[in-house]
Copies of this chain bind each other. A is one copy, B any other.
Amino acid sequence: MPRDPKHDILFEPIQIGPKTLRNRFWQVPHCIGAGSEKPGAQAGHRAMKAEGGWAVVCTEYCSINPESDDTHRVSARIWDEGDVINLGHLCDECHKWGALVGIEMWYGGAHAPCMETRCVPRGPGSYASEFEYLSYCHEADEDDIRALTNMYVEAAKRAARAGFDIVYVYGAHSYLPLQFLSKFYNKRTDKYGGSLENRARFWIETLEAVRKAVGDSCAVVTRFSIDTLYGSAGIEVHDDGFKFIELVTKEGLTDLWDVNIGDIAEWGEDAAPSRFQKAGHERPWIKEVKKIAKVPVLGVSRATSPDDMAEFIHSGYLDIIGAARPSISDPFLPKKIEEGRVEDIRECIGCNVCISRWEIGGPPLVCTQNATSMEEYRRGWHPEKFDKTEDPCSVLVVGAGPAGMECARILGERGYDVHLREAEAEIGGHISYVQRYPGLAEWGRVITYRQIQLDKLKNVEVHAGVGKMTADDVLTYGADKVVIAVGSHWATDGTASVTHEPIPGADASLPYLCTPEQIMLENKPVGDRVVVIDADGYFTGVSLSELLADQGKKVTIVTQLGGVAPYTHFTLEAPNLHRMMHAKNIHAHTSHWVEEIANGKVTIYNTYRDSYKRTTEPKTGESPHRAGTEVELLECDTVVLVTARIPNAELFTELKARKAEWEKNEIKAIYHIGDCYAPRMIADCIFDGHRLAREFESPDPQHPLPFIRERQIWGRETYPELASA
């Protein structure tokens, strides 16, 4: 199918300094956990986007010197010739597909804790980071400032040698150039502080020096937070923001503006979760920049709709579509638009689990929508290509939640004869109600993408609304192989990891107790005063709390954890979730757990109530939990139990117990995946279904095959046959 002409503008080449982009799709720098230490994973992930049609792909933030070491987080690094080789591999692999490659040169100032190198970063003053509370930078004198500029220059030279086409001087997210520019950090009284011209001097000098160093071999671009959202204490678009752009423009020092908003301590204002912002939320700022800039303007918007993207450019908001998360969710987004296959775009849901892994520090990125993310090299997975099976047997997939839908989709792509059967009227599993939590509507794309793809696969039949299958149903269905993916449910008795026992008095069959499903699927009545008991720590407890508060109820959260929904810190949802709780009067008892529930009241205790010198000698038979002491009563009408997820394991267990009957029913194998195997995040369930389908002919498909582990082998070359798990 040909491309829709209204999208033509997205495929017009554009000039960036000495380089020409083949179209308007630019994968902005984003973290993946590979850095420069895992060159295969790094190149595999980025080159997939080059193949998918992106004009430009970039590294994540790339440290220019050991003084800027973000360990425990994983950045790329261009410190030495080893890094030149490893990042050079990335450049080579992307160039093969006709993409340009950018490097985001990063120096963190106080925000870089330097836990690996043990160096000390320099900055415009001596201050602690508001992001890394124990990290201070050293106040640079003029010799230090020259040294810092020279670090960018030397890094840029190495980058050019590695084959990069575009070098960024990275000043967004409150990193070094912005620390000089912003009054929030810069209190100097010399020629690098005071007036805007003085505060801009470091950035300007660095851009000049980098440009001189790379000449025409690279485009020189800058990434700038046009508004740090501190009001007049920091950068504002119509004040220092515009003035800085004018200064740089006058000197012709950047070939492009990559513009965003916010800082690093709350960078969820930039990489905004869909819970709080729709696609394009930075447009009001970016269009201001476009009015005065003399070079192309790039902005991110988490846009996944080509109509929106074309409209952004037509309307003069920006010139180039920057994307991080949409490029992870679908590396082939440009190609699909180009080929007129818009309905095949696997749209980002804005859940930010990708970001969560960087924030945690260390693990490879995962994506809820795209199970092949970061598996391109180590498992050899391509998001759009599938090995056809040589044995297209029939497969029954029981349950069309995230794991079942994805497994059926991939088995279908691979040529199996698939029946996907779902008890409920619609496919989607628990996403069908999760998408009704406040702000989570876009999470429904997990279903819609798969619905569309399943509809296209002639060899996949989807049977929804068929009711629960029994073991007998499965055994006599007539399938060669079976995949059980029947999900999990919330505990009805308050069982949680805190005590690994039920909560006394908790029983969701009683009228004053509810599970999430009872509220979302069964409309069980909820009273005016609600206590939500949340041992889970992710989105369910806080989402239900907001939903009930929006209904006018007075909600109190009790959690054993040190904060409400701590995983949302990693997804960048936490600050605005806390603001929401403040605005909606949702109170929390953190580090508390429940001793007992009765009609009308919940008895809670501080988990730190017992003596702080616990371990002086054995106290046999004495519980450290002194039941009944120092408790607090919460009066309420309804208690919501968000305590533990229980796998729906009965079906598989019965089927396995009746293994003797498989043969006579001509069943060769039965597997179980997703939450019914073990409850986990949506991304991991989708991965599980995907993986099983990819490895369906392996000797033991229930358990993953080894993957390539990138590491040094002592005294050896890195033999691929050794480097696998």
Contacts and interface: CB of A to CB of B under 8 A. Distances in A.
A671 interface: no
Interface stretch (A18-26, A78-86, A193-201, A476-484): A78-86
B609 A582 contact: yes
Interface in A77-130: 79-82, 85-86, 88-89, 110, 115-120, 126-130
A551 interface: no
Nearest to A89: B714
A647 interface: yes
Interface in A318-349: none
Nearest to A119: B704
A698 interface: no
Contact of A680 (B120, B239, B495, B680): B120
A535 interface: yes
Interface stretch (A248-256, A412-420, A510-518, A617-625): A617-625
A281 B616 contact: yes
A136 B645 contact: yes
Interface in A164-181: none
Contact of A364 (B116, B238, B538): B116
A719 B40 CA distance: 18
Interface stretch (A422-430, A453-461, A559-567): A559-567
Given A562-B563, A576-B613, A608-B579, A85 B136 contact: no
Nearest to A537: B133
Interface stretch (A5-13, A441-449, A497-505): A497-505
A45 to B, nearest CB: 14
Contact of A620 (B80, B236, B722): B236
A361 B364 contact: no
8 contacts: A66-B725, A80-B725, A118-B684, A185-B500, A239-B621, A361-B361, A577-B612, A716-B717
A262 interface: yes
Interface string A54-72: 0000000000001100011
A679 B725 contact: no
B362 A615 contact: no
A185 B499 CA distance: 9
Contact of A500 (B127, B262, B538, B620): B127
Interface residues of A, number: 152
A213 interface: no
A38 interface: yes
Contact of A712 (B39, B127, B624, B681): B39
A272 B239 CA distance: 53
B236 A576 contact: no
A712 B711 contact: yes
Nearest to A679: B136
A139 interface: yes
Contact of A238 (B72, B81, B495, B620): B620
A718 B230 CA distance: 47
How many identical chains are in the complex?
2
A439 B133 CA distance: 24
Contact of A612 (B576, B656, B721): B576
Consensus secondary structure, chain A interface: loop
Contacts of A36: 711
Contacts of A656: 141
A110 B645 CA distance: 13
Contact of A82 (B127, B499, B687, B722): B722
B715 A85 contact: yes
A578 interface: yes
A717 B717 contact: yes
B608 A725 contact: no
Contact of A646 (B37, B126, B644): B126
A2 interface: no
Contact of A575 (B269, B608, B649): B608
Interface string A281-292: 110110010000
A129 B645 CA distance: 12
A432 B519 CA distance: 59
A677 interface: yes
A616 B284 contact: yes
A362 B72 contact: yes
